[in-house]
Structure formats: structure tokens, C-alpha cells
Amino acid sequence: MLKYSCLSTKVGVITFIERGGELVALNVGAAPDHPESAVPANSRVLSAAKRQMKEYLAGKRREFDLPIVPVGTKFQQNVWRELLKIPFGKTVNYLDIAKAVGCPDGSRAVGGAVGKNPIPIIIPCHRVIASNGKLGGFSLGLPMKRQLLCLEMPLKFLP
């Protein structure tokens, strides 16, 4: 059964979605966004996710420690595992990730996988930028990407 819980933050309402004690998705928007089959809940995982997100957005947390199970293809899973290796306050480009997953000509495919990340922020896809140093894309929008990068690197990505 899917469970969800919402958190109002400075970046919008964040909806955390859990199945079987593992976080499977995160949505950000003005209104809660969750599957129709999900029920509101306050589980241990959802409470920890909300607490850790508050800490991250307050600049008091650099890494998340949550059981996550993003659902996707084998290639997407490989890309998302690489994203989890990007340290707080650092950026990499799509080519870096493509090489790391053994697909050096696959920057576009990596971009597609990054864009389908079901647990953004926690799986830090905002830390992937274009090879030319520009922001590139972001499933939650470029203003949000800039805001997250400014939180982590205030002097490099000024608003």
C-alpha cells in the first residue's frame, strides 16, 4: 500500500510517498501530488523524510539517510546510483555520469534518466549540469534547481 505525507517548505509543498517502509517518490508543488491509491499516513520513514528535508533546506544536513527504492529501468537505476555519489556542494555534468555508467556516448540518455528521477533532491539530480557550465534541465524547474544549488554553493550559483 502506498502512503504519503506532505511538508510545507520554502520551495513548495513536498509530498513524500512510501511503500513498505521505503521511500519511492517525492513530488514538489503548490498542492500535494500523490497517486490516487495512496493514503495519508505518518510512518517512521515519512517522519524521517520530513525531518531530514527540513534540516537540508535549513542548511543543517548534507546527506539523506533514508531507505529509498526508486522504480525505473536498469539503466535509470544505474544513473540514479551514480547521482547518489555526487557530494553536497559539487556538480558533475551529464557526460561524467554517462562515462561512470559505461555509456560514454550516452549523455542524452543520461539526461533522460536524470529527468525521470522519482525522488529528486534526495537523489541529487540538481547537481548535474551541462558540460558548458549552464544549469541544463530539471524536472522541478530551473528556478528550483538554482535555489537548491544556491543552498549548497551560495557563491557559485548566485540567484
How distant, in Å, are the alpha carbons of 2, 34, 148 from that of 96? 34, 32, 20
Residue with cell 491509491: 37
State the CB neighbour count (10 A cutoff) for residue 146: 16
Phi/psi region, residue 59 (left: phi>0; alpha: psi -120 to 50; beta: rest), is left
Residue 31: pLDDT over 70:
no
Q: Is 150 a catalytic residue?
A: no
Residue with cell 554553493: 153
Q: Which of 7-16, 25-34, 107-116, 143-152 has the lowest mean pLDDT?
A: 25-34
Q: What is the pTM of this model?
A: 0.93
Average pLDDT, the chain: 93
Q: What is the pLDDT of residues 69-122, one digit of tens each?
A: 999 999 999 999 999 999 999 999 999 999 999 999 999 999 999 999 999 999
- The residues, ordered by sequence, that sit 6+ positions from 44 with a Cβ below 8 Å of its Cβ are 21
pLDDT of residue 158: 53
**Catalytic: which of 6, 103, 125, 150?**
125
Domain 74-152: which topology? Arc Repressor Mutant, subunit A (1.10.10)
